[in-house]
Chains A and B, each alone.
Chain A
């Protein structure tokens, strides 16, 4: 068996998600090959070759891959797919954009968002916002799989010594072009890879009050998240959203502030190691999953918490 993994990278660095996917590949078993696509990516390929467990790195250096356009990346993966038993992607916005195209072009089912490898053809994936876990078995000759990154440990970024080879690019699509991007500016850790996440819900009342969470996040080196209710109310942008329809996080510590705990939110954070809930409604469902609950008005509790973290 051999496994092909599409590497995600930005600004010369491999995104942490790729290291989780490598671990899923190791669990499936077989030779692991990475595909690095982008413009001027020799440095990324060098880093990819050092990831423990990787046998080969293929590099397609071409400006057509700069912006992760799905048409172009899927065409490239298909060009080099022959002979592989599995093709893995991270279940990130970028990975989800490409994985189903690759599956359809190979005429096989895509297997989204796996959280467990039970065998080389059998996987567990959450359905219904994580309210049920489906065990699925694939009889397709090539398994095309999306990997939920929070369910697999990171592979070691150092220690490997894979061979690196340049491969041909595929034709770029004339139908789609990149226009621009607005990325959120933050010095703090990224939501899906942060060790601590502090999230606010509708109880925060408005966007300005999120500065209280920023203050605590600063002290804990945490990322700030939000419930869908807070996003829908316009308090914070959508990239803050934790939940079934947003991001799935599993940090060491998740602090839910003014979040009631709707099913769809729990689906995005219930695998966190330690959950803290601060809510003035003692009946809030969030307390049923919290390790530590504090029944309090968040406008009293947050300043107190901020002060306590200084001591």
Chain B
């Protein structure tokens, strides 16, 4: 038996568990509905950046909003609940009997839990965007992709934290709570950082947040953060992309940590 077949066996089993009928259909329905319901093409504040780019960024951000919550719920369900209960009930041990390296086993689980959810999310979002505004998608594809990449960084960061906690504690409950708190907490912290930036005339807090949530750097690249007398923060596109790159280095490092723990330290 080749190495590909057991991997596909585990992947198929993980997909079957994560997306039991009618979960996949329900989430696809919600993604579609959420994308159309939340789309907003009006932009009130522009920076020096060309209007078309700012419109594409604003429209993409509005599309992402609600669907991102659905994506996170799906990831929470698959990682914290799904993987957590498999670890807790000892089902994971049966997978270890497959002729597969542990990293490949975790890859199959993550491909099902996060990869498929991401595929569904991006597939529906970009198709819906194209139905609504084909000219924006065809002329501003680069901006749209960059906006998605920036917006997905923080949810993937939360997913990595949940994965680490689930593996460490061998149950998903705490990981789930921490994930929800991290998601809600970021909007509170970012609002505070904006107030602090206005009060101190320094955007340092927002710059720190942007290291893990680079969508703020991209937002202020397009719209600029204005203070009372001057623009507090208006990063260039290169700077915004550096924040995006930096955030993915952190996300990558967290997932590698998860892989290392699952491969070497997890004793079941």
Q: Do A and B bind each other?
A: no
B interface residues, Cβ below 8 angstroms from A: none
A interface residues, Cβ below 8 angstroms from B: none
